[in-house]
Structure 1
């Protein structure tokens, strides 16, 4: 049985926490929380688990390291505090503790991550004899596992399009997703972080380059494109209230260009309610969201992934899937040679073990 520390209990972390508590092959030994409202509470309270666990949330990283867990599940938001998160990860890894995580999206394709993030983590893994694996749904699944599956069905490829098309109206994350993408920002206000030069390319360009290398092609460039849609009418939703003249939809992409044409595109189309950007593409069949891969080639291949839950909104169900991408890999990562692990390093059959257990 693997001893696990859950690091953060936000939109993704509360779901990975539930998974760790429930699985019979994992033992929760510690929980990190940064909010004063969560510190000192039982882990069960932080993820709506039915019975107390006896594991109390703390913000003391040294104490959690002192528990000597086999693995830390790191789901704390890193994209708005990269240097602080980098320091936390290097501290954990250098102490000889493996990490699986869903933040630090630059590492979803680690071989193409910048030196500023990759090199300190490689050194920490070497010092501690530990391993690090970062993945998620997007970046992650849609741009690696899903597209790999689609490509296996084609004998020739002209282009690859990877898309997340999602209505974020019921996603309660105005603090990060809303602010980063610029929902609720007027056109004449300061550009949100996502629209700054190079940001989209830095986060989603890695998967584009990884696919190009896998295909054996040399791209002319990887470029980004962005577009915003501003609502003429007030929109009220869980994410936020958007007033007339403020942004209520966004689409952006990292594009791999060959011979002057985009041949590998990783694109997001995100909106707040169906009233936003009515002329843009929607998920099929009335779904709230889809992760889609389209291969134009011989033959044409299209795969659409939808997640759902009997009690939760599809955006929340997608957070469960994000957590699953790394929780399911814990055993393999704990047995792996030290270093930073990419998705292609892990045999897909290896992440199935331990999945069939009875939820409480």
Structure 2
């Protein structure tokens, strides 16, 4: 526990941001000093109201980024969706970094494996860190935990690995994010629209999950011959009504996609998603074990074979919401360390494991 609470700004209050906001308010080692909201309906409201905290905080949401820059915060928790507006997100993050404010983020998932990220993304943020003497850390649950911390744990239990499969298998029916996730994955769209689905376009999957695949290969000391992506939609035969969207017969109700790291013609590292909008969709594909609605799984074929299944749940929230809570935890829990970290963009392998759990019990 640090002797003085870190001064923190929460940037966005959406699916992940409202959970990180609630965590920041509750922790005695963090002090909320500012909240950014882009939705006009949230501007001017107390932070507590935006995340379901029982007591007012006196911190009022604003859409004025310049005003937030003047608060003298130690760190910004940046959870605003940036993958569809990367240049704007880079500019916002760089502004804080240059001003001397560290950033932890669940957005811009290309930076989960920062040493594999393209220069157009990495270089301006690295330069901003150097200008402000600050650090940037990006992580989440997937990409993030399942492809780094969980898979590292599984691999530590084998004497030899022949292949590695990292999976997210989740029912997204109750995930209220059609604006990005639903559109990007093509849920509800007919077969003749698949060529326009963002995640299915050539190179998009490898840009998002290729970095973690290459990073893992590098840690294993192996050279991959190529990265390749595969996608497979599943179309509904009956109407599906759910929180995510309404799917008419013939609309896509499940998607299976993967990035494969190939050596000698064989996939040796695979990062795969299987996402449905109903348990009845794609019955021939894998399901989470034990009747769960979601799992992050690592399978290592080796000596011995290892399978690690991570489930998240909550007595009130849906499993997808619990996943968003865990995504927030991946960055909120390392705020203090990032504030002490070497200048620049840091990766999960740079963070001592014990620094990810400090301050969790009070």
TM-score range, shorter chain: over 0.9
Match of 2:317 among 307, 312, 321: 312
Cα offsets for 1:193-245 (capped at 9, x unmatched): 01111000000001100110011110001111111011111111111110001
1:67 alignment partner, one of 46, 66, 71: 71
Work out the CA distance in 2 between the residues paired with 1:81 and 1:271. 26
User: What is the distance in 2 between the residues matched to 1:226 and 1:247?
Assistant: 13
| 1:282 pairs with 2:324 | no
Task: Kindly state the Cα deviation for residue 64 of structure 1 after the two structures are TM-superposed.
Answer: 0.3
TM score, norm. by length of structure 2: 0.98
Instruction: Determine helix, strand or coil for the equivalent of 1:188.
Output: helix
CA distance in 2, matches of 1:89, 1:149: 31
Q: Distance in 2 between matches of 1:213 and 1:351?
A: 23
User: Cα distance, 1:86 vs. partner?
Assistant: 0.9
Pairing partner for 2:277 from 262, 272, 277:
272
- Distance in 1, matches of 2:274 and 2:85, equals 25
1:126 aligns to what? 130
What corresponds to 1:355 in structure 2? Answer: 360
Question: What CA distance in whole angstroms lies between the structure 2 residues aligned with 1:196 and 1:164?
Answer: 20
Matches within 5 A, 1:36-75: 36-75=40-79
Q: Name the CA distance, whole Å, in 2 between partners of 1:273 and 1:348.
A: 36
What SS does the aligned partner of 1:58 have? coil
| Structure 1: distance between partners of 2:163 and 2:327 | 26
How high is the TM-score relative to the length of structure 1?
Answer: 0.98
TM-superposed deviation, 1:352: 1.3
Deviation at 1:253, TM superposition (A): 0.6
The correspondence for 2:81, drawn from 72, 77, 81, is: 77
Partner Cα separation in structure 1 for residue 65 and residue 24 of structure 2 = 19
Partner of 1:14: 18
Q: In 1, Cα distance between the equivalents of 2:355 and 2:317?
A: 28
Quote the Cα distance in structure 2 between the aligned partners of 1:83 and 1:129: 22
What SS is found at the alignment partner of 1:19?
A: helix
In structure 1, the residue matched to 2:142 is 138
Which portions of structure 1, spanning 4 or more consecutive aligned residues, are displaced by more than 3 angstroms?
none
Query: 1:351, CA displacement in angstroms?
Result: 1.5
Q: Distance in 1 between matches of 2:355 and 2:33?
A: 24
**Structure 1 residues 196-235: aligned runs within 5 Å:** 196-235=201-240
State how far apart, in whole Å, the 2-side matches of 1:13 and 1:350 are: 22
Alignment equivalent of 1:154, drawn from 152, 158, 164: 158
Deviations 1:159-185 (A, max 9, x none): 000000000001111111000000011
Please give the alpha-carbon distance, in whole angstroms, between the structure 2 residues aligned to 1:184 and 1:79.
21
Gaps of 5+ in 1: none
Residue 115 of structure 2 is matched in structure 1 by 111
Kindly report the root-mean-square deviation, in angstroms, between the aligned alpha carbons of the 2 structures: 0.6
- C-alpha separation between the residues in 1 aligned to 2:47 and 2:334? 22
Q: Could you tell me which residue of structure 2 aligns to residue 2 of structure 1?
A: 6
How much does 1:191 deviate? 1.9
Equivalent residue number for residue 324 of structure 1: 329
The number of residues matched between the two structures is 357
Structure 1: how far apart are the matches of 2:92 and 2:199?
24
Shift of 1:156: 0.3
Counting only pairs closer than 5 Å after superposition, residues 149-188 of structure 1 correspond to structure 2 as 149-188=153-192
